[in-house]
């Protein structure tokens, strides 16, 4: 694969404080690392697992452990970032879950687990971040990590698709609600992203994806991360309320 340029060669986020939720996962870590390489000060959220990131120069990013499905958890993450760094310029709402189950088999508890994590937590985090940005009077950028399944549901992922469709609309609604205060809100919708073991766990699906994607490969966490870098930077200063699809072109096909 071609060596990627450091984001700092394209855009400089030095001085920006950006929270990334779910930074212990593959995509979250990739987003955090690309933001770090662009010069941002990153606050990495995790629910329980330790976060090990590369891309930092002097000291590792602050890690905040919190359960985002609680009423207090999202506010705690935002407060920790401001307490440590005195400001907040960006938020990447990446934390989410994707249990595999048939929609007809979901009970209320299973449904609430997906909605509480993938949607309600995003709303609470956005509200807390926006309040902090408005209080500082400087605006900021909020990015929701959604999914192409938010517009094209997949079997056994229907509940996840519903939650991500709502996340995409939440970005549009929040963009309208907070634009006057200088806060931009956008979504990024990844397609299938590489992770360790995916070729062994789902060889048939990976093969179909590669055959269907015009760009001929799975995505990487860095692909998603660079989309977030763009949306957190001044390069996207007049962009808000959009859903940026990062899928190698798969949605150009009727189905994959």
Minimum mean pLDDT among 1-5, 104-108, 205-209, 234-238: which range?
1-5
| pLDDT mean over 204-217 | 95
**The architecture CATH gives domain 10-243:** 3-Layer(aba) Sandwich (3.40)
Per-residue model confidence (pLDDT) at position 60? 83
* 56-73: pLDDT as tens digits: 666 789 999 999 999 999
Residue whose C-alpha is closest to residue 45's, from 128, 108, 107: 128
Max mean pLDDT among 2-11, 57-66, 69-78 falls in 69-78
Q: What are phi and psi of 153, to 5 degrees?
A: -65, 150
Name every residue whose Cβ is closer than 8 Å to that of residue 74 and which is 6 or more positions away in sequence: 66, 68, 121, 124, 125, 127, 128
Catalytic machinery residues: 147, 160, 164
Query: Which tokens in the block code for residue 41?
Result: 């000060």
- With a cut of 60, say whether residue 1 has pLDDT above it: no
Domain ranges of the chain: 10-243
Integer CA distances (angstroms), 119 to 114, 154, 160, 197, in order:
8, 18, 10, 28
pLDDT at position 216: 95
Give the pLDDT confidence of 170-196 residue by residue, as tens digits. Answer: 999 999 999 999 999 999 999 999 999
């Amino acid at each position: 694969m071609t060596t990627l340029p450091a984001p700092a060669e394209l855009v400089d986020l030095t001085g920006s404080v950006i929270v990334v939720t779910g930074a212990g996962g593959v995509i979250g870590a990739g987003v955090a690392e690309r933001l770090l390489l662009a010069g941002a000060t990153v606050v990495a959220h995790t629910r329980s697992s330790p976060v090990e990131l590369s891309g930092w120069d002097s000291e590792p990013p602050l890690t905040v452990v919190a359960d985002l499905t609680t009423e207090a958890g999202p506010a705690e993450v935002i407060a920790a970032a401001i307490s440590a760094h005195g400001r907040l310029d960006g938020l990447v709402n990446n934390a989410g879950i994707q249990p595999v189950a048939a929609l007809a088999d979901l009970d209320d508890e299973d449904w609430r687990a997906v909605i509480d994590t993938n949607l309600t937590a995003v709303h609470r985090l956005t509200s807390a971040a926006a309040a902090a940005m408005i209080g500082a009077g400087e605006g900021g950028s909020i990015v929701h990590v959604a999914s192409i399944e938010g517009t094209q549901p997949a079997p056994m992922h229907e509940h996840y698709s519903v939650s991500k469709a709502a996340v995409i609309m939440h970005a549009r609604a929040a963009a309208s609600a907070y634009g006057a205060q200088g806060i931009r809100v956008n979504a990024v919708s990844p397609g299938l992203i590489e992770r360790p073991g995916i070729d062994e766990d789902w060889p048939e699906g990976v093969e179909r994806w590669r055959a269907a994607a015009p760009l001929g490969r799975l995505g990487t966490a860095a692909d998603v991360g660079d989309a977030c870098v763009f949306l957190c930077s001044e390069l996207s200063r007049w962009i808000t309320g959009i859903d940026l699809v990062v899928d190698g072109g798969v949605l150009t096909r009727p189905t994959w």
